[in-house]
A and B are shown apart, each in its own frame.
Chain A
Amino acid sequence: MIDRIVWVVFRVVRGATLPHLTDADRAESDELIAARLLAARKRGRGAARIWAREFADIVRVRLSRWSATSLPFSMLDVKVGLRLLVKQPGLTAVALITLMIGIPVGLAPLHAIRAFQAPPPVDEGTRLQVVKNFDLVSRDWTPSFLYDFLNWRHNLTAFETLVAAASGTYNVIALDDDALPVRGAAVTASVFATLRVPPLMGRALVTADEAPGAPAVVVIARDLWRARLGGDPGIVGRSIRISGVAHTVVGVMPDGFVFPVRERLWLPLRVNPLAEPGHGQSILVFGRLADGLSPVAAQAQVAALGERTAAEFPDTHARLRPEVVPYTIGLFPLPRAGLQSDVGFYFIQATAVFVLIVICTNIAMLMLARTAARSEELAVRTALGASRVRILVQLFTESAVLALGAAAAGLLIADQIAGRAFGWLLEQVPGWIDFGVTTETSVLALGLAALSAAVLGVLPAFKVTGKDIRWNISSAAAGRAGVRFGGLSSTLIVIDVALAVATVGLAVGAWDTERGGGLGIDAGQYLSAGFRVPGAAPGTDVSAFDPADLSLRVGATQQALARRLEAEPGIGRAAFASVLPGMDHPRRWIEMDGEDTTDGFRGHRVRVAQADIDFFDALEQPILRGRGFDLTDLDDGMATVIVNTSFVDRVLAGRNPIGRWLRYRNRPGQEPGPWYEIVGVVGKLGMDQDDPESGAGVYHPLPPGAINPVRFAVKVGNDPGAFAPRLEALLGEVDPTAILAPPLPLADVFSFDAYVNSWLTLGVFAFILAVLILSSMGIYALMSFSVAQRTREIGIRIAMGARGSHVAFTIARRALTQMGLGLALGMTLSAVLLTAIDASIARVVAALGAAACVLLVIGLCACVAPTLRALRILPTEALRSV
């Protein structure tokens, strides 16, 4: 029995892989093998060795015959493919552009996942893990403090070493007395041993540097040494001022050392062994796993320690669960498993795949129509001896030329755009994360392109080459295409319309593109800036960090700066706030007093800002109703707000807001926030840069020192940029430790913060346009082709006495049915997806309506031209092929 099975398998494999053998060859081959099997049996040996040799022989012969000339593929196919691209520039341009967009977009989420999984570029970087606390109640990560670091370092054996790092921006004054803000970190000396990177010059930090009262020392990055310290070979031992304090440079780190993220200088972290739980400055804790220990085992140990700590300190740690997270992922508020576990990311992934499906569907329709139009050519080639495989390979090659070329071009463009478009993001991510195109992404993209070529080129070709050749040739002679698609074309049209409509709706709904209106002030007269006071001054014990003290320092700096600015001739008062007009204000949901909040009530979405009591006066904005903020609003227990006129219109339908109360809606299960009384109304001050005309806004009074950093705008005149150096000097005189954000004219702040919006808006518009164009072309091509197929039917019906108008109506009815089904499906799909993301329904409905009209017009046009053409044919001509 086994023998028979093996014989069958052998013959099948041989037949499939060695088709050149004739029946006589195979018969004699079988006889030879049988003789050998018999001989082996007689010698008492098994047949396995004989069979193994014969199967291996098949493989060897197959491989030896594998050459370019033996494949049904030639460079002529590539030339034909290129020639077709030139002959059909419309199809080529649209397919190229959309594949160039679609393939990189489709791969972008996977690429992002891989980028964020990149381990740090140090020895055994995958063994670096971040340890941080997860709040089981708020379901979010919480800061770690020095106590946590000491507790973990003392009690965990899962880590070879642990590091604590507190990042910040420091004013560095080196050669030319100009203060340069530099990103740096106060770190435990263990960081250098943990990362296993020796210094380029001098020494790394040592444990003795951490002791309170130890000399102020610093290790700097090589690029900082070269750029700001002249590359002085005697830098080790020199003194530089960091945030006003003299530090001795003890070492220089090599290029590429940017830990924790993008730091360029490293100060010793003063470690107080008596740090209390939940107090002090927040820090990052990371370490290298002990030899032989897996992250899972480390997690078990960390979790057990977390339970003991929670029992010992229930007030601060009862709801905390420490977790071990891969280093790069641990730097971000991502789930432990990485970007791919984030709920929002699934939406992005789904959208990317959606885009790819839309594009492939449209191109499939175009390719289908193009292939069907060549049915006569393909039939003649078949008659002349071309095998089906040969034709399929040629059509695949033609599609592959298009798809691979588009993928390669798309990757090149994506690689260029990745850095420029997201330059603002790159400063926030570790230096070793590369958003450029990687080898893996390139291989995936080219593989996807090859798959697209197979689907787009080969599947339609199967349909075209499957028909009886005589039928194809006679159909072509009769002036009709030799292929009927029937249900396939209807299905494709319905799907295409549905996806096009849904995609347009999704794009518009997910991105509110309406822009317009001003900031409510003459932005060209104002200079904007911001400052931050560092939490713990360099060289101080971070565990002794007191938020109240910091608040006092910030408040003092703010008030002193306001006085100095007011004393400057020709300069207006400073307006301090959490965000300035034109910037992206945070969004919150609110409810009003007296509203029925049951039965799925979601609340009102508003923009929120904190503004000091002189904010509106400084911006020369009158209070339109009620009163402005005053000192009494800063007292404890006072809960007052000012709203803008858009709030009055949208939330209160124009009713008087003075004396009304609002409160913020929190997540389900959380207690609602306190009530706030509306005491005044101001005009629109650009709180919603996507919707300046109607963005409802709420202002809270801002006590001095309540926020850090704090932004401000000051009226300086027609050339705001000219005052920037003076502003820097004033702040330096008021507080040398304060870090000043680069001053910008307020008008430029608007455009700076709209940088991302403008890129995305441009992308969305371009995308919508591409989808509509491609969908329109695909629908037009397939519909007109389908109608053209019915030329004979139309001729017969006219000959039989049917009215032309009735025939045209019949054809249009079918097209409208297909379009209608597609529209209904698309709108349903769009509505389901947009419900989840709180899109502006009115805007989405308008966009869907516009897309539907465009597609409907295209569909009808696609029917009209071929129908009229068919109606003009004499019945005798139409009947000729009978």
Chain B
Amino acid sequence: MHPTLSEAVFQILLSLSNQPRHGLGIADEVEQRTAGRVALGASTLYTAIRRLREDGWIEETDPPTAGHDPRRRVYALTATGSRVLSAEARRLESLVRDARGKAVLPGEGSA
């Protein structure tokens, strides 16, 4: 069973779930997707990327298109990382379901 993911790690994995990206791209995608709610600090981003690579959840890959700046490293989700992301998403979903069941959140299952 994998440990609970921090929000920064979850967002990074989520960002790589549909396509490989470089660090700057990850930060931009996360900030846009969350409407500015999550702004990954540079130190947090690259420290997390380093750890995710060591854990084998992401890997450096070839850039997807020509004309890509060779200085930028592009990362993609590994199979392990994909499983971890899915598991975390299901865990969060079950938490939301529990909250709705208690009417803490509106929606299905609320009393």
Residues of A whose CB lies within 8 Å of any CB of B are 14, 18, 20-22, 24-33, 35, 53-54, 56-58, 60-61, 65
Contact = CB atoms under 8 A, between A and B. Distances in A.
B23 interface: yes
Contacts, number: 59
B67 interface: no
Given A28-B23, A28-B24, A57 B71 contact: no
Given A20-B50, A27-B71, A57 B43 contact: yes
B65 interface: no
Cβ-closest 9 pairs across A and B: A57-B41, A29-B42, A25-B46, A61-B43, A57-B43, A28-B23, A32-B42, A58-B43, A61-B47
B24 A24 contact: no
A65 B51 CA distance: 11
Contacts of A26: 46
A394 B23 CA distance: 38
Contacts of A14: 43
B50 A60 contact: no
Given A32-B23, A35-B24, A61 B50 contact: no
Given A18-B43, A57-B41, A57-B43, A28 B72 contact: yes
Interface string B45-76: 11101100000000000000000000111000
Nearest to A50: B39
Interface string B2-39: 00000000000000000000111001100000000001
Contacts of A56: 41
B44 A21 contact: no
Name B's interface SS.
Answer: helix
A32 B73 CA distance: 13
B65 to A, nearest CB: 18
Contacts of B46: 21, 25-26, 28-29
Contacts of A25: 46, 49-50
Given A20-B50, A35-B24, A29 B43 contact: yes
Contacts of A57: 41-44
A60 B6 CA distance: 13
Interface hub of B23, B28, B41, B42 (most chain A Cβ within 10 A): B42
Classify chain B's interface size. Answer: 10 to 19
A472 to B, nearest CB: 35
Nearest to A24: B73
A61 B27 contact: no
Contact of B73 (A21, A28, A53, A58): A28
A18 B47 contact: yes
A31 B72 CA distance: 10
Nearest to B72: A28
19 contacts: A18-B43, A20-B47, A21-B43, A21-B46, A21-B47, A22-B50, A24-B71, A25-B49, A25-B50, A26-B46, A29-B23, A29-B46, A32-B27, A33-B42, A53-B41, A54-B42, A56-B41, A58-B43, A61-B47
B27 A21 contact: no
Given A54-B43, A57-B44, 16 more contacts: A14-B43, A21-B47, A24-B71, A28-B22, A28-B71, A28-B72, A28-B73, A29-B42, A29-B43, A29-B46, A30-B42, A54-B41, A58-B43, A60-B41, A61-B43, A61-B47
Contacts of A24: 71, 73
A61 B45 CA distance: 10
A322 B25 CA distance: 78
Name A's interface SS.
Answer: helix
A27 B70 CA distance: 13
B24 A21 contact: no
A59 to B, nearest CB: 9
A29 B48 CA distance: 12
A148 to B, nearest CB: 70
Nearest to A61: B43
Nearest to A62: B43
Contacts of A28: 22-24, 46, 71-73
Contacts of B47: 18, 20-21, 61, 65
Contacts of A60: 41, 43-44
B76 to A, nearest CB: 16
A18 B41 CA distance: 13
A33 B27 CA distance: 10
A53 B72 contact: no
Interface hub of A21, A32, A54 (most chain B Cβ within 10 A): A32
Contacts of A29: 23, 42-43, 45-46
Contacts of A61: 41, 43-44, 47
A33 B43 CA distance: 10
A65 B6 CA distance: 14
A32 B24 contact: yes
A67 to B, nearest CB: 13
A22 B50 CA distance: 9
Contacts of A35: 24, 28
A35 B22 CA distance: 14
B107 to A, nearest CB: 33
A42 to B, nearest CB: 15
Interface hub of A18, A25, A30, A53 (most chain B Cβ within 10 A): A25
A269 to B, nearest CB: 71
Contacts of B39: 53
B83 to A, nearest CB: 24
Contacts of A65: 47
Nearest to B23: A28
A58 B43 CA distance: 6
Interface hub of B24, B43, B45, B50 (most chain A Cβ within 10 A): B43
A367 B46 CA distance: 44
A27 B72 CA distance: 9
A56 B43 CA distance: 10
A136 B46 CA distance: 73
Contacts of A20: 47, 50
A493 B57 CA distance: 61
Nearest to B42: A29
Contacts of B71: 24, 27-28
A31 B50 contact: no
Contacts of A21: 43, 46-47, 50
B10 to A, nearest CB: 15
Contacts of A31: 24
Contacts of A54: 41-43
Contacts of B27: 32
A30 B23 CA distance: 11
A706 to B, nearest CB: 85
Contacts of B45: 29, 32
Nearest to B28: A35
A645 B39 CA distance: 96
A29 B46 CA distance: 7
Contacts of A22: 50
A556 B50 CA distance: 98
A31 B44 CA distance: 14
B13 to A, nearest CB: 18
A22 B46 CA distance: 9
A775 B50 CA distance: 54
Nearest to A33: B42
Contacts of B43: 14, 18, 21, 29, 54, 57-58, 60-61
Interface in B69-88: 71-73
B28 to A, nearest CB: 8
B32 to A, nearest CB: 12
A27 B45 CA distance: 13
Contacts of B72: 28
Nearest to B26: A32
A27 B22 CA distance: 13
A56 B44 CA distance: 10
Nearest to B27: A32
A111 B25 CA distance: 61
Contacts of B73: 24, 28
